[in-house]
């Protein structure tokens, strides 16, 4: 058995026998701390190389990136890149700091290779995250090639009528450090947030963020994307696609987590005990793939589409790219696959 397979098997055994017995959020905190602490080692590992992708005026080292949610506060960007991700999307970051929802708020469904979360945009707020990104920018240390995305969302206590100003605050603080910026209106864990996906509310929000980004970064255009939910109807998906074209959006991320609990292998009683939250992982694959196809057929060949949801291996990533995605992202696949998972997927995409 070659070394890569042994490492993958060891992680699977560790996950099944140890990590599944630890509170998922605590396990995430410990694992992320280990990734950050291990950066002096991982940065020296051989890099899996893939085919570069030109999109939104940016050069991505290969198609695979880490979705928002793993590094909410921009604490481990370069350590995550050292594991093999070609782009890392931090956040979701809100205008004001917030603790998120009460614990427990993160749950595993191993039988489905899935995760349920109702984190509630727990993060340190745009001012703190911007200061951290400024320090990273000033260090100028050697790092692997990386594209940095910043995902922004609405502060929970901000009423909907003030949502635009809340997003504008985050944009002004964070856009100077972002290679691209994402407006998140699709998490199911902030009350009323998904209502902003309706095009009559989404258009003024996106226009306001675009304007503020241009003010904050006058010397370059920061690409702007919107992240949508898989639970939108096909007609609403197409309406967002039409809006993206009409206002000159740079891309769409499809998709966020789902509130659906259909076709799960996990014990139904356990699923009901977990309760509300966004489901991510393998069960999302089919709908996320379908939404990607819908979008590509609607927007034509040029708009950037980032496919996320249910990508567990290189075959899933290839299928999403074949459906029309320009780039792909993962989170839950990484959680179940372990620290060498990104490099394995990149090699698989490259045929290695």
Phi then psi dihedrals of residue 147, to 5 deg: -105, 130
Which secondary structure element, helix H or strand E, spans residue 153, and what is its range? strand 147-153
d(CA 202, CA 247): 11
- Name the nearest CA neighbour of 313 among 288, 337, 335, 292: 337
- Sign, CA dihedral 29-32-38-39, equals negative
Cβ count near 114 (within 10 Å): 26
- Active-site option among 170, 187, 280, 312: 187
What is the DSSP secondary-structure string of 189-233? TSTTGGGGGSHHHHHHHHHHHHHHHHHH-TTSPPPEEEEE-TTS-
Q: For 278-351, list the strands marked E by DSSP.
A: 278-281, 304-308, 327-330
Active site residue 187: yes
d(CA 199, CA 206): 10
d(CA 109, CA 332): 11
Catalytic residues: 187
């Amino acid at each position: 058995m070659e070394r890569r397979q042994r490492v993958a098997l060891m992680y699977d055994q560790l996950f099944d026998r140890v990590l599944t017995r630890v509170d998922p959020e605590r396990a995430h905190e410990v694992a992320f701390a280990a990734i950050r602490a291990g950066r002096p080692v991982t940065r020296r590992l051989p890099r899996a190389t893939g085919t570069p992708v030109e999109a939104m005026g940016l050069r991505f080292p290969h198609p695979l990136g880490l979705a928002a949610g793993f590094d909410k506060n921009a604490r481990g960007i370069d350590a995550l890149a050292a594991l093999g991700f070609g782009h890392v999307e931090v956040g979701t970051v809100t205008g004001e700091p917030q603790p998120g929802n009460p614990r427990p708020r993160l749950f595993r469904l191993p039988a489905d290779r899935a995760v349920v979360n109702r984190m509630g945009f727990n993060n340190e707020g745009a001012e703190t995250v911007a200061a951290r990104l400024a320090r990273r920018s000033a260090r100028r240390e050697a790092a692997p090639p990386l594209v940095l995305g910043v995902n922004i969302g609405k502060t929970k206590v901000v009423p909907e009528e003030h949502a635009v100003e809340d997003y504008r605050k985050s944009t002004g603080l964070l856009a100077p450090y972002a290679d691209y910026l994402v407006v998140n209106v699709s998490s199911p864990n902030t009350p009323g947030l998904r209502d902003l996906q309706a095009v009559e509310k989404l258009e003024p929000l996106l226009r306001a963020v675009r304007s503020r980004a241009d003010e904050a970064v006058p010397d370059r255009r920061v690409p702007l994307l919107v992240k949508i939910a898989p639970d939108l109807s096909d007609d609403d998906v197409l309406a967002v696609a039409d809006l993206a074209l009409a206002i000159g959006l740079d891309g769409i991320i499809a998709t966020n987590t789902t509130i659906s609990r259909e076709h799960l292998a996990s014990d139904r009683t356990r699923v009901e005990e977990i309760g509300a939250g966004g489901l991510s992982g393998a069960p999302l694959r089919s709908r996320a793939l379908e939404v990607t196809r819908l979008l590509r057929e609607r927007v034509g060949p040029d708009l950037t589409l980032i496919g996320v949801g249910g990508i567990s291996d290189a075959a899933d990533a290839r299928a999403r790219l074949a459906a029309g995605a320009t780039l792909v992202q993962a989170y839950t696949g990484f959680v179940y696959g372990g620290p060498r998972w990104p490099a394995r997927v990149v090699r698989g995409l490259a045929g290695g």
